[in-house]
Structure formats: C-alpha cells, structure tokens
Structure 1
Amino acid sequence: MTGVPGVDVPDARGRTGLDRAGRDLAGNPDVVVRDVEVLSSSWYVNRRTTFERRGRDGAWRTEQRETHDRGNGATVLLHDTARRTVLLTRQFRLPAYVNGSPDGMLVETAAGLLDEQDAESAVRREAEEELGVAVGALTRLPDVFMSPGSVTERLALFAGPYTPADRVSAGGGLAEEGEDIEVLELPFDEALAWVDDGRIADAKTILLLQWAALRGPFSARSALPGQGGVVLDE
C-alpha cells in the first residue's frame, strides 16, 4: 500500500505524523476528537477533523471541520512619535487579488511566520528584512486569532519605536524568497485616514493602528507607564 505524504511517509518538507495534530487535546471536556485526515501538505497543511461536541443542551453531536495550518506568525507596528509617523509595507497578495482587491497591493505592518523562532526574534527579523530597521524595545500585546473559523494561525502583535537612525538597510524583503516589498513611511493621521477610506484593508494593520490611537503611543494614555502591553527590552 502506498504511503500518505505527511502521514506515514515524508512530504515535500520531510514531515510525517501530520495527522496527529489535535488528537490529544483535553482542555475542553465537551469536545472529543475522533479522527484527523491530512488533505494536503504541499507547504501548509490542510486537515479534516471529525469530532464529537456536546452542545449547551447536553446532547452530543458528530461534526467535521477543515483547518488550514500555516504556522504561527508575528507582526509589528513601528512608530516615531516625535515625527508622528508609522512605518508600513506595500506588497502584492494573491489571495486578496482573487477576492476583490482591485490590484492585490495591500498596505500592512511588517509580518511573517515564526519559522521555529520565538515571536520576538521573528518580528525583529521581519522588521529588518522588510523595513530595514534594527528594532530596539518592543511592546507586546495579546496574541490574536485572525480567522478562527478555518485558519489555525495565532498572531503575536508587537509595537515599537523607531527613528531614521535605526534604518540599517533599504528593506524590501528577501529577493531569494520572491519578496518585492515597498517601504511606506506615513504620517499617523494619514494612516488612520487610509483605514477610513479602505486604502488599508489588512486586519492586523487596522488593529494595531487603532490600538496606537486609543491606547498606544499616539493616545492620551501614552504618557502613563505600562499602559496597553508588556515592554520587552532588546
């Protein structure tokens, strides 16, 4: 019998046992996982999980859900309060292009997958690769799930100050990974206006910009120490 890539024989990335994810979960006594099927594992992993769930009426029901596992990620909003600017990226996003974005070019905070690093190290890596900035102190905000109905990714949110002196390169991403990223320095108020008129349509970016306005470096609360997150020194 031919083996299943990613299950009992290595897939293209050398992985096996991908059908074990979720089978040992025990945090919710009202959910019992019965089966996990690997639908594809070309780069990311798509699974179909069969489970029993006890509803609020006490009855048990068998359900199936598909999940898309791309790993966890991290993102950072870099801000210069003295000049009242933020540093963002613009790049082509095919999924957005095929689902209504006029040109697929999205304005975003720098972000990337963890790739087996801790979240803080990963976000420092991404800030340097995409924005050309060596990041100092960071504020970590609570992690969020961006699309919990189908995508497993948990996204770590960070914010940190920058100045022109912190620029160590032109940024733009890694050419060997096919990245072609434009660095955008925007006045903070203009970035908020772009949220209002739809020029910024990326959820993580909107969330961080609104945090910065309401509780972060551009808010009335910013003069109060320890507000809005945990500060991590380099």
Structure 2
Amino acid sequence: MTAHSGRGADRPDSRGRTGLHRAGLDLTGNPDVRVERVEVTSDGWHVLRRTTFAYRRRDGRVDTQQRETYDRGNGATILLYDPTRRTVLLTRQFRYPAYVNGHPDGLLIETAAGLLDNDAPDVAIRREASEELGVTVGELRHVFDLYMSPGSVTERLHFYVAAYGPADRVDAGGGLAEEGEDIEVLELSLADALAAVADGRIVDAKTVILLQWAALTGLI
C-alpha cells in the first residue's frame, strides 16, 4: 500500500528526492514480515519514516506493528594507530545531541568517521581521515560492520583500522569549515585512550569498540 503522497514521495523534497515512501515495500528476506505502508514524516537532510507492517510471531499470531526509522545513510569509521610509538589518532568535536542529553560540554573524543555519501566505504573513510585528521591513509584493514542503534536508526557502520606514521600526517586536519566542522586532532597513547574509556572521558560507542578491539587483539 503506497497511498502516501507529498514531498519526498511523489514530489521532490528539499534535496530533490522522490520515492522515499517506497523503502521496504519490496523486502522478501523474512517471510514473517509484510510491509504494508510507508509514510515519510520528515524530509530534512535525513529521512524519518513511519512504517506499518504485519509480523507473524513465533506462536503463529499475526500482529500489526508500526516503527519509526531514521535513515541517515551508512557510514564508516577508522582507528589510526602508530605501531612503533603505540599511539592512536582521535578527534574531539562538539556534538549537540550529546550535549542536550547530559554530556557536560558536548565535546566528544572519537575516531574519525563520516557518512558514505554514495562512495564505497573504503573511499569514504580515506576522505574522512584526510579531512578530519590530515592523514593520507595507506593499507586499510576492514574489521566488521555494525548496526549502532538498530531499534530506530537504519545506519550500518563500516569499521576500519590502519597504521600511520609521522610522515602520513600531511596537514593539520580539522574538518571542513563549510560543513560546520571544528575538529581538534588528538594523538594519545593507546594506554591513555583506554584509560579515558575506563574513566568516562571517552563515551562514543564506535570509539570504545575500536579501542577495545585493538587492545583485545594486541594490534598495538
């Protein structure tokens, strides 16, 4: 059922997109789920949808359920590490959603990351490492792909690690001012970064995951 119309559906939204109300209607991977209706409830830079679907429970009973999904596209993140000096390169930047939800100053320490913007994940993360950290990335290692908030956000995040050295830091980084970015580059020892996880100075999920993975695997 596709009775929904309006911006982002039959008419272009602010980014010229149409057909946003059809996402999920062609899914067949789970025979116990039948998508019945998709409504675009917000057509800003990212897309908020309300989806109605029939769900067959394990006891055979069929429920009609609704879920809202926030579609911001998929992303990639990278932990850059120096195996000789046992350091990692991280960012610090202001995150309003964290600030409004209890973080004291909203300044979060994170691994470099960004949305794919229609690029392949490896291409996107090289771009983000250059823009945010000022690093030219060499050989990449793909670690895993994770859904970070699967109850409401569709994003799948691609995780990478890569070695770097002083010669790979070709400029100061800092992000793109035209996109509102004001990023501080931090070089920490792995030990100090892990201590920051333990004492609550690092609270970003993707960063905690990559730092703990590096420690568990003996990466550096």
Query: Where on the TM-score scale, by shorter chain, does this alignment land: which range?
Result: over 0.9
Identity value in percent: 68
Counterpart CA distance in 2 for 1:178 and 1:93 is: 11
Who is 1:164 aligned against? Answer: 166
Q: 1:139 aligns with which of 133, 138, 141?
A: 141
Who is 2:124 aligned against? Answer: 122
Counterpart CA distance in 1 for 2:94 and 2:57 is: 42
Report the alpha carbon displacement of residue 6 of structure 1 after superposing the two structures with TM.
0.4
Who is 1:94 aligned against? Answer: 96
Residue 95 of structure 1 aligns with an amino acid whose one-letter code is P
| 2:30 partner SS | coil
Structure 1 gaps of 5+ residues are: 219-234
Structure 2 gaps of 5+ residues are: none
Q: 1:19 aligns with which of 10, 18, 21?
A: 21
The 5-angstrom pairing of residues 187-202 of structure 1 reads: 187-202=189-204
Once the two structures are superposed, what CA deviation does each residue of 1:12-59 show, in whole Å capped at 9, x if it has no partner?
100000001001000000100000000011110000000001111111
Report the alpha carbon displacement of residue 176 of structure 1 after superposing the two structures with TM.
1.0
Who is 2:188 aligned against? Answer: 186
* Length-normalised TM-score, structure 2: 0.97
Aligned residues between the structures: 216
CA RMSD of aligned residues (A): 0.7
Q: 2:9 aligns with which of 7, 27, 40?
A: 7
Once the two structures are superposed, what CA deviation does each residue of 1:88-116 show, in whole Å capped at 9, x if it has no partner?
00000000001010000000000000000
Residue 101 of structure 2 aligns with an amino acid whose one-letter code is N
Evaluate the alpha carbon distance shift between residue 204 and residue 47 of structure 1 in structure 2; reply closer, same or farther with a 3 A threshold: same
Runs of 4+ in 1 over 4 A off after TM superposition: none
Who is 1:225 aligned against? Answer: none
Who is 1:49 aligned against? Answer: 51
Residue 191 of structure 2 aligns with an amino acid whose one-letter code is D
| 2:89 partner SS | strand
* Length-normalised TM-score, structure 1: 0.91
Who is 1:109 aligned against? Answer: 111
Counterpart CA distance in 2 for 1:135 and 1:216 is: 21
Counterpart CA distance in 2 for 1:214 and 1:96 is: 28
Residue 202 of structure 2 aligns with an amino acid whose one-letter code is I
Counterpart CA distance in 2 for 1:5 and 1:43 is: 13
Q: 2:87 aligns with which of 85, 88, 98?
A: 85
